[in-house]
Structure 1
Amino acid sequence: MNIFRRLFKIGEAEANSAIDKLENPIKLTEQGIRDLKKDLAKSMESLAQVKAMTIRSRKEMQEQESVANDYQSKAMLLLKKAQNGQMTMEDADRLAKEALIKKDAAVQNAARAKEEVTKFEKSISQLEANIQTIKSNLSKWENELKTLKARVRVTDATKNLNKQLASIDSSSTVSMLEKMKEKVAQEEALAEAYGDIANESKSVDDEIEKALNTTNASADNDLEKLKAQLGMNDDTNKL
């Protein structure tokens, strides 16, 4: 069948196609499977029709054989009646002859119907063999299609990964690392600057506190000196 030759060509094309062109064989295989299913439907319809004709021809053959036997019996009865004197031999011969003519026609019809039955049965065998072949190929190609689609998915994933890896070369990697180092250095410098600002603010406050504490200490010394001049000491205060 042409469809099988075409499917073989599809398989051959699939085997010889480049990996990045697997989409085309998939579509061709899917179309081939659709065509096979159409052929299967047509073959099933043809098989049903041929079987119906076989049934009719077999029934006709049986009917014509029965008719032939019936006319054979009638011719014999006519001759027996003439032999028994129930009718003239002339009439018996004439009617028996007509019966035999009809019998011969029925026999020929039965033989023709039998030939048709034989022919139809042969066609049925061929159709059933074709249907079985189509079913077998359908199953085979559907499994092949599943495998092909899986291969395409794996190939696409691998291709995309390799493409990404190929786009990252050593120079771009080094450049990217240098940029990262520069950015980190800027961030570190910025953090150190903020730390210096914070330390400067704290130093000013410390100087203010130190100055205040120095002033208070000087005042304490002056007070002690003044008390000494007035004769006020710790013993006096205790009294």
Structure 2
Amino acid sequence: MNLFDRLSNLTKATIHEVLNKVEDPVMMTGQYLRNLEGDIAAAENMLKEQKMTASILKRKNSEAEATSKKFELDALAALEAGDEDRARQAAVAKINYEEQAAQFATEAEEARGRVIELEIRLKEGKEEYDRLKEKQNELAERARKAKERAQAERPNFSRGIESGDAAKGFQRMEEKILAWEAGAEVSGHQYSPSESINSTPAVDDSAVRDEIQRLKNKLSSK
């Protein structure tokens, strides 16, 4: 892709496609601007070269035209002197320089056309750079405000009845510790019926019968 195409693409393409794919869109706009600065600098150098080329070609055209006229005069003088050979040689040189002058004129015109095109593209590129620079400042400010708004909506500290991340974290830890404490208290006092019976010492059957009888006698005496 030549420089003209790159400048044209930069002035017509949008930034948004790339911005959607990067983590820091403001940083990416800076890279766009640096690329555009490089292209503008390269175009400025090319413009200087084309202006110099046009100037050189114009000078060569003038020199060739002047030389062609000189040989035309030489040919006329030779003819007047009756020297046809010298007149023929002068006429050949005159024609050659005349053709060179025409070629230099064509190339100089082409160079001037490239100069005009480069000047237009440079003007467009610089205007686009200024516009994108202003846009970058706008995007940076919008990004800053968006980050501040997001931070304000998700604070890391308690505010009124709403708790921030830190307070919520402490609350979760306290709930978990309370659960542990409750579990430890229950495990320290719980027992099963089977465990209670199994833990009772064995009693002699005659003693049990005697106690039952005693209780019956007590009841009957009332």
Q: Do the aligned partners of residues 118 and 158 (structure 1) sit closer, same or farther apart at CA in structure 2, a change above 3 Å counting?
A: same
- Cα deviation for residue 22 of structure 1 reads 8.1
Give the Cα–Cα distance (whole angstroms) in 1 for the partners of residues 9 and 158 of structure 2: 43
Choose between structure 1 and 2: higher helix proportion: 1
Deviation (angstroms), 1:24: 2.1
Q: Name the TM-score, length of structure 1 as normaliser.
A: 0.60
Q: Secondary structure at the match of 1:164?
A: coil
Which segments of 5 or more consecutive residues in structure 1 lack a partner in the other structure? Answer: 83-88, 177-239
1:6-155 equivalences in 2 (<5 Å) = 8-14=13-19, 17=20, 24-80=24-80, 82=81, 89=82, 92-155=83-146
Q: Which moved more, 1:111-120 or 1:21-30?
A: 21-30
CA displacement at 1:171 relative to structure 2:
6.5
Query: Structure 2 CA distance, aligned partners of 1:46 and 1:172?
Result: 63
Q: How far does residue 167 in structure 1 lie from its aligned partner after superposition?
A: 6.2
Paired position in structure 2 for 1:205: none
Structure whose CA Rg is larger:
1
Q: Could you say which residue in structure 2 is the equivalent of 1:184?
A: none
Distance 1:124 1:6, change over 3 A: closer
**Residue in 2 that maps onto 1:170:** 161
Aligned to 2:179: none
CA–CA distance in 2 between the matches of 1:138 and 1:158? 30
C-alpha distance 6-98 of structure 1, shift in aligned 2 (>3 A): closer
CA separation in 1, counterparts of 2:102 and 2:7?
38
Give the corresponding residue for 1:159. Answer: 150
Shift of 1:168: 4.3
Please report the RMSD computed on the Cα atoms of aligned residues, expressed in angstroms. Answer: 2.6
The equivalent residue for 2:210 is none
Which SS does the other structure have where 2:155 is aligned? helix
